[in-house]
Chain A
Amino acid sequence: MNYVIIGNSAAAVGAIEAIREVDTESSLIVISAEPESAYSRALISYELAGWLPQGANLELRSSSFYKEKNVQPMLGRRAIGLDTTTKVVVLDDGEAVPYDRLLLATGGSPQKTGVPGEEKLGVFGFRTYGDLIAIHQAVKNARQAVVLGGGCIGLQAASGLHHHKVETTIAIASDHPLSQIADAECGDFFQALFEKNGIAVKTGLQPVEFTGADSVEGVRFYDGTSVPAQIVITGKGVAPNVELAQGTLIRVDRGILVNDHMATDEAGIYAAGDVAVTWDRVACQSTINAVWPGAYQQGRVAGFNMIGVQRRYDGSMRLNAAEFFGVPFISMGIVKPKGEGYETHSRMLKEKGLYWKLVFQGNLLVGAVLMGKVEGAGVLSNLMRKRVDVSTIKDDLIAGRSDFARVLPLVKVQSEAFGETEYRELIQ
C-alpha cells in the first residue's frame, strides 16, 4: 500500500502519527512545495516578535521525525497534477508519484487584497517560513510598515515589526480590531493597548493603492490619506489551496468537501486541515475552520481511515488563542451571534485588563471570549464541542466559575456525551 500526503503542516503530521501508530512498514510519502521539514507556521509571528524561548526553533517535530516515522519526505517539490484514473500525483518536475491512499493537506494561501500595487517588493503575506525570512531581511532597511487586517495574524505581525523597531501602523477595514471574533468593547481595549505600546491603529480604512515604483513606499487609503511604508503585510485571511481537486470527482465548495471519515468523493482520496470543509458542531454549518487543533485532528482521523481503521471526525469548531503585550485572549465558537434565540453575558473590568463573554443558545453554551484570564477555557470549549445541556450550571458559568468540578454533575447525568475513559475515572 502506498500512502501519499500532500502538505506538511498540522494535518499532515496528524496523519503521519496516526498511520504509524498502526502501520510502521507501508510506504508513506510526504510531498510539500515548501523545502523546510515540518514547522509551525502558526508561530512565525512569535519568532518575528522574539517570543520563542532561547534556543528554540519553529520545528514542529524533532529533526529525526521522518526517519523515526519511516516517512519519505519529498520537500521543495510542488504537486501540480492529480490523475485519479492512474492514481498518480504529478510533480512540477514531471515525476509521477503513485498512491493508493492520498491525503490532500494542502492548506491555504493568503488571500489577495486585490489592491493595485500588490506585486511590489516589500508587500508580504505572513504565512510561511519563506515570508518570515523575507520580512527579517526587509526590517533591516525599513523605517515604517503598514499591516492590513486587525485579526490575530495582523496584530501579531504588527507586534513583530514593532519588536524590530519599525514604526508600525495597523489599518483595519472594520471599526475595531478582532472584529470577527470579539465585541467592540474587547477590540477597543486591544486597540488602546497597541497604541499605548507605540503601534498606531487606524480603523474603518480600506486601502486603494500600494504606492511606489518597484518597491512599496506607502499605502493610500479610501479616505485620501496615505501612510508611508517600506513594508506592507497583508493579513486578510486565507484561501484554501484546492487546485489539485479540479478536474476530479472531488467536490469543491470554497474548500474540499469531505464526509465524517475525512474522505472526498474520489475513492482513496482524503482531505484535512485548512483546505477541508467540515461540519462546525457549534455553529451547526459546514465551513472551513482553519485552526490548528482542527487541522491536526482531521489529519489524525484521515490517517486512521486511510489505513482502514474506522474513525469518525466529530466536527470542528472555531478556536482562537493569542496574547498581545502580555494580555492573553481566547475566543471560541459563536461570539457575535446574529438573529434570535441567543443569550449573552459579558463583563469588562478595564482597569484589571479583564473581559469575558459567554453566549448561550437555549441550554447550550455556544460561544466564549476570555481576555486577561484564560484559565479553564478548555472546560468551556469542551461543553460547546460536546453540546451538552448546561442549564443546571448556567449560573455558575455566568458568574465565571468554570472549574471542572462544576461540570462533574453533567458528566454523571449526560453520560452518553462523556463516554471517554478519562471521565469515567473521575466519577464514583
Chain B
Amino acid sequence: MRNSRKVYARPDLCTGCRSCEIACAVEHSASKELLSALFESPPPRYRMDVQAVNGVKLPVNCRHCTEPDCLFACKSGAISKDLKTGEVQINLAKCVGCWMCVMVCPFGAVSPDMDRAKATKCDLCTGSASGPACVQSCPTKALIYGNADEFNAWRQP
C-alpha cells in the first residue's frame, strides 16, 4: 500500500478560503454545477472541512487509514478498504446510517448526513477523470493527490 494515493494538505499554504469545500460539495451534488447545486434539496454535502484554530488552517478529510476504525466498526458491511489502492470507501447502497463509523473516526472525517441517512466522507472523487475536485480547486496549491512519498517530497522545505 506504499503507493496508495490520497489527498494531502499543507496547512502552511492554506489560506482558509474554503474553495475546496465548495468544489467538494459541487462534485457531490446531483447537477455538478455550482448554481444549481446551491438550490438542491437536500443540499449536497462537502467532505473536506477546513478547520481554523489559533491561526492554523487545517484541511481535514478522510485519511484512508491503514487500520481503518470506521471499517472495523461498520455493522452493515458498507465500508471496505481496497488492499491494493488503500482506498476506504462507503457503499451507500448498504449504509443504514447507524453512525458507528462517526463514533470512531479519530479525525471526525466521517459525517452523518441526516437528510439521506448515510455516512459521508471523502471518496477521492472516484469516477472523476480529473481526480479529487478539492485539489483542482485550491488556488494556493495547498492540497495534492498522491502517495506518501510524493507527499513527503512535496512538504520538504
Binding site for B on A (CB under 8 A): 10, 14, 21, 40, 42-43, 46, 51-53, 55-56, 59-61, 292-293, 296-297, 300, 319, 321-323, 326, 328, 330, 332, 374-379, 381-382, 402-406, 408-409, 420-422, 425-426, 428
The digit string for B1-28, where 1 denotes a CB below 8 A from any CB of A, is 0000000111110000000000000000
Known contacts A40-B76, A293-B73, A425-B151; A319/B108 CB under 8 A: no
Chain A CB within 8 A of B77 CB: yes
| Number of chain B interface residues as a range | 35 or more
Q: Known interface pairs A321-B102, A378-B69, A379-B106. Does A425 touch B96 (Cβ–Cβ under 8 Å)? A: no
Alpha-carbon separation in the docked complex, A372 to B92 (Å): 22
**Nearest CB of chain B from residue A152's CB, rounded to whole Å:** 11
Is A52's CB under 8 angstroms from B96's CB? yes
A378/B107 contact (C-beta < 8 A), A53-B93, A292-B73, A293-B73 known: yes
| B108 close to A376 (CB less than 8 A) | yes
B95's contact among A53, A321, A330, by CB below 8 Å, is which?
Answer: A53
What are 13 A-B pairs with beta-carbon distances under 8 A?
A: A43-B75, A51-B97, A293-B69, A293-B72, A296-B73, A323-B99, A374-B112, A375-B102, A377-B108, A403-B108, A405-B52, A421-B148, A428-B10
Complex Cα spacing A405 to B10, Å: 13
Contact of B96 among A46, A375, A377 (CB under 8 A): A46
Q: Across the interface, do A406 and B97 meet the contact criterion of CB distance under 8 Å?
A: no
Residue among B52, B66, B75 facing the most chain A CB atoms (10 A cut-off): B75
The distance in angstroms between the C-alpha atoms of A376 and B94, with both chains bound, is: 22
Contacts of B114 in A (CB 8 A): 326, 328
Interface flags, B32-60, vs A, CB<8A=1, else 0: 00000000000000000101111010101
CB of A42 within 8 A of CB of B75, answer yes
Given contacts A375-B111, A404-B51, A404-B60, is CB(A296)–CB(B98) below 8 Å?
Answer: no
Within the assembled complex, what's the spacing in Å between the Cα atoms of A51 and B94?
11
Question: Do B104 and A319 have beta carbons less than 8 Å apart?
Answer: yes
Q: Say whether B100 contacts A321, CB under 8 Å.
A: yes
Pair B49/A43 contact, Cβ less than 8 Å = no
Contacts of B77 in A (CB 8 A): 40, 59-61
Q: Scan B135-157; emit 1 where CB is below 8 A from any A CB, else 0.
A: 00000000000001001000100
The residue of chain A having its C-beta at the shortest distance from the C-beta of B107 within the complex is A404
CB distance from B119 to the nearest CB of A (A): 11
Q: Which residue of A lies closest to B62 (CB)?
A: A422
Contacts of B30 in A (CB 8 A): none
Report whether A330 and B66 are in contact in the complex, using a CB–CB cutoff of 8 Å. Answer: no
- B65 located at the interface, meaning its Cβ lies under 8 Å from any Cβ of chain A in the complex: yes
Would you call B129 an interface residue if the criterion is a C-beta within 8 Å of the partner chain's C-beta atoms? no
Supposing A51-B96, A405-B56 touch, asked if A428 and B12 sit within 8 A by C-beta, the answer is yes
B97 proximity list for chain A (CB < 8 A): 51, 323
Interface residues as binary, B52-88 with A (CB distance below 8 Å gives 1, 0 otherwise): 1110101010010111010011011100000100000
Q: Are B76 and A330 in contact (CB under 8 A)?
A: no
Cβ A422 vs Cβ B65 within 8 A: yes
A292/B75 contact (C-beta < 8 A), A323-B98, A405-B53, A408-B56 known: yes
